[in-house]
Structure 1
Amino acid sequence: MRVLIVEDEPTLARQLRATLEGAGYAVDSAHDGEEGQYLGENEAYDAVILDLGLPEVDGLTVLDRWRRAGHRMPVLVLTARDSWSDKVAGLDAGADDYLTKPFRSEELIARLRALIRRASGNASSELTAGEVRLDTRSGRVTLAGEPVKLTAQEYKLLSYLMHHKGKVVSRTELIEHIYDQDFDRDSNTIEVFITRIRKKLGAELIQTIRGLGYSLEGR
């Protein structure tokens, strides 16, 4: 899963990035509203963490412009403004959730997981496909009840497919959502990871749809 952080305070931005990367997310960062708006309009994100008090363009304006342009990615507003009117303004502009500073990283991650699950139509924190189960809280993957060890990139790819079970996901979409902006997008590693996941979890789990991509049906 790929997340954009739009935060102008350097120390907090670094802390957020480290926290999210430690939780298994691919992360891009923007340090002002203009850059954040551009990335949100031109890159694929599963969620955005957006500060309101940004230089160049304020966060509410950025959010409003995204929504008016039809960008539907979940947005978690993160700000020091804690008055009820600021919260209402953020939600009315199109925010999906609101967290005030200071905050605990555990709550931030939990809220982010919930936003991503809901956006993909999943109510539970445990995703299933046949005998494969993925717990988004712990990052634990099991096959028929037995734990299976995946690398970080294998986990990211499997998680994205399980969040979008039943849909055909192209190779390009996978690259856009499991790697950050600086990744070499001409890489052929997606096929390598698919092969490794099939060896660990069963060849039938991920179907190749010729000319289109991959589908996880859960059969």
Structure 2
Amino acid sequence: MIKILFLEDEPNILEVTNEYMKMQGYDVTCVSNGEDAIEMLKKDNFNLAILDIMVPKVTGLEVLEYINENKKDMATIMLTALGDEQTQLKAFNLKTDDYVIKPFSPLLLLKRIEAVLRRSLTEKNIDNDNNEFYIDDKTYQGYYMGRSLNLTLSEFLLLQTLMKEPNRVFNREQLIMKIFNEDYISSDRIIDAHVKNLRKKLPHNYIKTVIGVGYQFNKEGI
């Protein structure tokens, strides 16, 4: 699962953006000041850091400088109300991957995240099509690097359905019919629970949430 460090001190922006990222299956850690951001970077590894510049204690640019010196493989997006050329140049000189000016659309930020992660994974020569992840229709199981993912039957059938038509977006009712036929009569939110559990077991973010519709298999795994 893709891990994102999100540094933002405005509560409304933090809450809304965090929810959008989580709906896309990202594992998000939120902090509201630069000191906490650096502490989290010392404790854990992240694929991407989204950094507001004007935050308490230590600025986002200083956190970016720490990443540039200590976490060279991590992708970064600067998120700020400062749109002046000098600030942007300073961020890019510190090798940020992108720069988003407030106010912004959470949906557009998600697209920026996808683009930055795609470039980052490509530069690291990570080939998601050859990572030895596959499902076996005979054993009703998924495997990664030779190890079973320990999928339940419902999780396997859900994953199998999405993988067979990767360009199709399935709504919850369609997925219920594929998994349970007509035997299931309770809430369609059971699909959300299965997706949540699957995301914990899969090696990459293969299940994409299409907001307002349902779910789709994401071959790129980001």
Would you call these one fold, judging by a TM-score over 0.5? yes
**For residue 35 of structure 1, what is the aligned residue in structure 2?**
36
CA distance in 2, matches of 1:145, 1:15: 28
Range with greater deviation from structure 2 (81-90 or 151-160): 151-160
1:8-157 → structure 2 map (5 Å cutoff): 8-121=9-122, 128=129, 141-143=162-164, 151-155=195-199, 157=201
Deviations 1:165-213, CA, capped at 9 Å, x for gaps: xxxxxxxxxxxxxxxxxxxxxxxxxxxxxxxxxxxxxxxxxxxxxxxxx
Seen in structure 2, the aligned counterparts of structure 1 residues 97 and 156 have a Cα distance that, compared at 3 Å, is: farther
- The alignment's TM-score, normalised by the length of structure 1, stands at 0.61
Seen in structure 2, the aligned counterparts of structure 1 residues 146 and 38 have a Cα distance that, compared at 3 Å, is: closer
CA distance in 1, matches of 2:97, 2:87: 14
Letter in 2 for 1:142: M
> 1:54, CA displacement in angstroms?
1.1
Letter in 2 for 1:20: M
Question: Is the 2:67–2:74 contact (alpha carbons within 8 Å) kept by the matching residues of 1?
Answer: no
Residue correspondences, number: 155
CA distance in 1, matches of 2:98, 2:32: 21
> 1:116, CA displacement in angstroms?
1.4
What is the aligned-residue identity percentage?
24
SS at match of 1:75: strand
Which of 158, 166, 171 matches 2:202? Answer: 158
Range with greater deviation from structure 2 (149-158 or 107-116): 149-158
> 1:40, CA displacement in angstroms?
1.9
Seen in structure 2, the aligned counterparts of structure 1 residues 70 and 19 have a Cα distance that, compared at 3 Å, is: closer
> 1:51, CA displacement in angstroms?
0.3
- The alignment's TM-score, normalised by the length of structure 2, stands at 0.60
Question: Is the 1:41–1:71 contact (alpha carbons within 8 Å) kept by the matching residues of 2?
Answer: no
SS at match of 1:56: coil
Seen in structure 2, the aligned counterparts of structure 1 residues 119 and 141 have a Cα distance that, compared at 3 Å, is: farther
Question: Is the 1:78–1:99 contact (alpha carbons within 8 Å) kept by the matching residues of 2?
Answer: yes
Letter in 1 for 2:9: D
CA distance in 1, matches of 2:68, 2:115: 20
CA distance in 2, matches of 1:10, 1:161: 27
> 1:67, CA displacement in angstroms?
1.1
**For residue 212 of structure 2, what is the aligned residue in structure 1?**
none
Letter in 2 for 1:158: L
> 1:19, CA displacement in angstroms?
1.1
Unmatched 5+ stretches in structure 1: 133-139, 163-219
Instruction: Supply the RMSD in Å over aligned alpha carbons.
Output: 3.3
Question: Is the 2:26–2:205 contact (alpha carbons within 8 Å) kept by the matching residues of 1?
Answer: no
Letter in 1 for 2:104: F
Seen in structure 2, the aligned counterparts of structure 1 residues 161 and 54 have a Cα distance that, compared at 3 Å, is: closer
